[in-house]
Structure 1
């Protein structure tokens, strides 16, 4: 995800040797104190202003074989109507602590967006104003695309959450030529009456900018957008995801946004503004920084990322 342009569309915890960190984060101490405790414990680097990447090179990086490849589009730049909302659903496990719960995972962007620029550039209503349907996302310097990263993490999360008994729906599974548009992504979670939704992303910021951050919906009441009912539960969801992400991955909160807390509130994202169910975005790291990129391109680390996000959702849903 990049910070310029349209909607860029942000089990029980295991024992950890970083016990003081776990306690500090779990307490969810607001403000700079939380950021300082977590950041000093895990470590981080300084950063500078961020840069935006819009057109990464074709990826030659390895992609998890468990992720479905998207169907090929016909005319790469041909205008295509927005698809009817649809999801890829996994049957819930027979039993588990999340039996009866519905989780929607939103893998940001789509590997096919690059070939369908006219379709993703058309404007859609995000409640407060209009923005492009979707964007291409960013990529590492070696060409590993954000859209492939998000699909891989989402696929791993689906397996983890199914084992907890949840019904898991994906907004896309590499099964469509582009998108879905940001308004449809929100609609999928709403129509599923999801108990929690998380949108998976990776940032495209400047070298030296490192770490993750979770994006929370701000209070919006304008046009067709009304987030007032989901602001509080979404914040709780985001805090729990941030806490478990630190503990499981060992990654520090962002050193360039969020004041060290790993939490950012925004009111300009259609995927959040149009949601009527608890929802957050997570930017798992900065693809344009070589140190973060080394993590994001590691299958072992992506498994940790999926586990960390999933554990936060489980914690939220179990109360």
Structure 2
């Protein structure tokens, strides 16, 4: 959930619904799967085992863009050749499992282009205490394996390798510095019981101070539409019944991770952690595997054009 602070404990109060509840149309999946949107075609991406330690972003001072996977003997093992060879994907796992231990640091205000917001927040959790930040890291790792198997260079904004953050503006800078072909920020929502489904957040047109999204609005919509279609197909989840009017797509101008990006970028809220039915999916390892496949398939379709 982007930037609504809820401590990841079973006793955390349920956050208020961010937007008015809207009824979901049953035609949403059909809309996402129209051939013109190219959201439901393509070849399924298959995971392959990884060798050695994962590549990570540097704890501070900008991104550490890994171009290969270390082999067991310490030498660099080149990524396999594949349809995504030469393309760079940045995966941004939302929040950080340790943010709740650094509330003062993450409360620091940063520029988001349209104003100022907290550096980061704790994210949400299921009622049983499964933290959003743990969910996002799990899905990010699965995505990395899938995309690297297709030949892509994959950079994570962080990999549980720093005490808090990164701040939202730094997350945007990591994608920009990597000259990423696509950036996806992985989240889960924290809404009211009965609010179910996924939605993809797209950047609004913003020209305000340091923010200018005019060049990324169109490609980000293309990326988000393809991810939404493939996510629905892979997971069987329906688009959100409370955000996006049943399309699975939402546009926002209040997220620094989008406003400050100079490359195509979207957020995906994979489900509502505060709804018991969605929580059962989000806590299932097999469902998280399918979620990673769906997001990765959407990215691959976008990159292949």
Please indicate the TM-score interval, normalised by the length of the shorter structure: 0.7 to 0.9
Any conservation in 1 of the 2:29–2:247 contact (CA below 8 Å)? no
Q: 1:249 to 1:195 in 2, by over 3 A?
A: same
- The equivalences for 1:280-295 within 5 A come to 280-295=266-281
The residue number in structure 2 matching 1:84 is: 61
Q: Give the Cα separation in 2 of the matches to 1:93 and 1:23.
A: 36
Aligned equivalents of 1:190 and 1:3: distance in 2? 20
Q: 1:202 aligns with which of 182, 188, 205?
A: 188
Normalized against structure 1, the TM-score is what? 0.77
Q: TM-score, normalised by structure 2?
A: 0.80
Report the Cα offset of residue 85 of structure 1: 1.5
Q: Could you tell me how far 1:286 is from its partner in structure 2?
A: 0.1
Q: Offset at 1:94?
A: 2.9
CA apart distance, 1:89: 2.9
Report whether the alignment pairs 1:104 with 2:90.
yes
Q: 2:292 is matched with which residue?
A: 306
From 253, 258, 265, the counterpart of 1:279: 265
Q: CA deviation at 1:27?
A: 1.5
Counterpart for residue 25 of structure 1: 32
CA-CA distance at 1:2 after TM superposition: 5.7
- Aligned partner of 2:125 in structure 1 is 139
Whether the 8 Å contact between 2:80 and 2:150 is mirrored in structure 1 is no
How far does residue 87 in structure 1 lie from its aligned partner after superposition? Answer: 3.7
Cα offset, 1:128, TM superposition: 1.9
Structure 1 Cα separation of the partners of residues 248 and 283 of structure 2: 21
Equivalent residue, structure 1, for 2:212: 226
Instruction: Give the Cα–Cα distance (whole angstroms) in 2 for the partners of residues 207 and 23 of structure 1.
Output: 26
Q: Do 1:217 and 1:227's aligned partners in 2 also have CA atoms closer than 8 Å? A: yes
Partner of 1:235: 221
Q: Can you give the 5+ residue segments of structure 2 that lack an aligned partner in the other structure?
A: 7-26, 38-51, 69-77
CA RMSD in angstroms, aligned pairs only? 2.4
Q: Secondary structure at the match of 1:124?
A: strand
Deviations 1:9-46 (A, max 9, x none): xxxxxxxxxxx99875332789xxxxxxxxxxxxxxxx
Counterpart CA distance in 2 for 1:171 and 1:227 is 20
Question: Quick one: distance in 1 between partners of 2:168 and 2:225?
Answer: 23
Residues 1:136 and 1:67: Cα distance change in structure 2 (over 3 Å):
farther
Cα drift, residue 3 of structure 1: 7.1
